[in-house]
């Protein structure tokens, strides 16, 4: 198997800080720089995901929150927030305090990049941010219809260019079924990503949320998502491949997790019992961490 040849027979499981699993809480929460507010209001979220994040709407509030997280034994945190209509987040206001936080606490800081320019990418790199998570969309109409990006997918690739030039690792995320449950540009997104040679690719699955236009939608079956994982591995054979925390729960998750382990995934957030069973059946070494799965590989020194 390509995965085992390039990354060994190791599967890392992750518990991010926004979740509780079997009585355990993750040590890597998400923080919103805009509180519950979002100017972009993508159809699949409409700001609902911000409700799960800790608010820190000023540099002073972010510093205070970070110091408190350090006292509570957190390992780091993901900085996110609602986007402006152009897809940007207010990082120019916060880069100096992020640098101070890292210097004072030693916490690991990653960010949801949103869509940013070269100057902002350089500021985040200078601040000591470890990774920038980027939603990658391969279909022009989906970018406009679902993400409300007037320029289509152009901001996606401009952001990846900016991060690459700044030397800040981009961690592409592909949402399978983003086009109202249909698979449209996901394969094109991965093919185009090959030129960037990302160290990691995170696959997530559309999870229809109440309060959004996508409530009640059917999502791609687990077998189709697993097929995408297999193709993505072929296109990016040397990358770490992750199954992220955003995916439907219940029977769907149990079916998908088993298939994902068989497909050679390297990292998985919030694994089901079926994932654990399949890993044991295949003789995989398993590791556990209470952070975002984007940090996979760092715990083994095999990044």
Contact by Cβ (8 Å): 61, 55 = yes
d(CA 2, CA 233): 8
Quick one: pLDDT band at residue 288, thresholds 50, 70, 90?
very high
Reduced 3-state DSSP string for 96-143: HHHHHHHHHHCCEEEEECCCCCHHHHHHHHHHCCCEEEEECCCCHHHH
Average pLDDT, the chain: 95
SS3 78: strand
Q: For 75-107, b where at least 16 C-beta lie within 10 A, e where not — what string?
A: bbbbbbbbbeeebbbebeebbebbbbbbeebeb
pLDDT for 6: 76
**CB–CB of 276/282 below 8 Å?**
no
At 2 the pLDDT is 76
**pLDDT tier at 272 (50, 70, 90 boundaries)?**
very high
Give the pLDDT of residue 201.
Answer: 98
Strand partners for 169 = 131
Q: What percent of the chain has pLDDT over 70?
A: 98
Q: What is the pLDDT of residue 300?
A: 53
User: Is-contact 91 124, C-beta < 8 A?
Assistant: yes
pLDDT at 189: 98
CA distance 173 to 170: 9
Reading the block at residue 150, the tokens are 């007037």
What local confidence, expressed as pLDDT, does residue 3 receive? 79
What is the model's pLDDT at position 21? 74
pLDDT digits (tens, 9 = 90+) for 119-143: 999 999 999 999 999 999 999 999 9
Residue 156 has a CB neighbour count (10 Å cut-off) of: 25
Encode pLDDT of 69-87 as tens digits. Answer: 999 999 999 999 999 999 9
Two tokens at 45? Answer: 């979220």
> Distance between CA 37 and CA 5 in Å, rounded?
45
The yes-or-no verdict on residue 115 having pLDDT over 70 is yes
Strand positions, DSSP E, the chain: 10-14, 20-21, 24-25, 30-32, 54-55, 76-80, 108-112, 131-135, 169-176, 200-205, 240-243, 267-269, 285-289
Beta bridge partners of 268: 13, 243
Measured in residues, the chain has a length of 303
Q: According to the model, what pLDDT value does residue 297 have?
A: 75
Largest CA distance in the chain: 49
Predicted confidence (pLDDT) per residue in 142-177, tens digit: 999 999 999 999 999 999 999 999 999 999 999 999
Q: pTM value?
A: 0.95
């Amino acid at each position: 198997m390509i995965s085992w040849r390039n990354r060994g027979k190791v599967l890392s499981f992750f518990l991010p800080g926004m979740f509780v699993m079997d009585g355990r809480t993750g040590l890597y929460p998400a923080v919103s720089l805009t509180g519950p507010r979002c100017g972009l209001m993508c159809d699949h979220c409409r700001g609902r995901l911000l409700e799960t994040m800790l608010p820190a709407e000023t540099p002073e509030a972010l510093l205070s929150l970070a110091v408190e997280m350090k006292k509570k034994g957190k390992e780091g945190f993901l900085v996110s927030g609602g986007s402006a209509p152009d897809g940007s987040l207010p990082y120019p206001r916060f880069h100096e305090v992020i640098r101070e936080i890292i210097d004072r606490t030693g916490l690991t800081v990653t960010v949801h990049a949103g869509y940013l320019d070269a100057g902002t990418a350089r500021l985040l790199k200078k601040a000591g941010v470890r990774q920038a998570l980027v939603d990658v969309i391969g279909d022009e109409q989906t970018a406009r219809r679902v993400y409300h990006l007037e320029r289509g997918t152009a901001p996606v690739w401009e952001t990846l260019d900016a991060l690459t030039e700044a030397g800040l690792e981009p961690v592409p995320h592909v949402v399978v079924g983003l086009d109202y449950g249909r698979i449209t540009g996901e394969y094109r997104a991965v093919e185009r990503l090959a030129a960037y040679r990302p160290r990691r690719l995170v696959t997530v699955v559309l999870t229809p949320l109440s309060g959004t236009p996508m409530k009640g939608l059917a999502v791609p079956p687990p077998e189709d998502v697993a097929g995408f994982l297999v193709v993505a591995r072929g296109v990016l054979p040397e990358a770490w491949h992750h199954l992220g925390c955003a995916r439907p729960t219940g029977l769907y998750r149990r079916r998908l997790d088993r298939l994902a382990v068989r497909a050679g995934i390297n990292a998985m957030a919030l694994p089901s019992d079926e994932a654990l069973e399949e890993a044991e059946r295949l003789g995989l070494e398993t590791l556990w961490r209470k952070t975002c799965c984007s940090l996979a590989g760092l715990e083994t020194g095999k990044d």
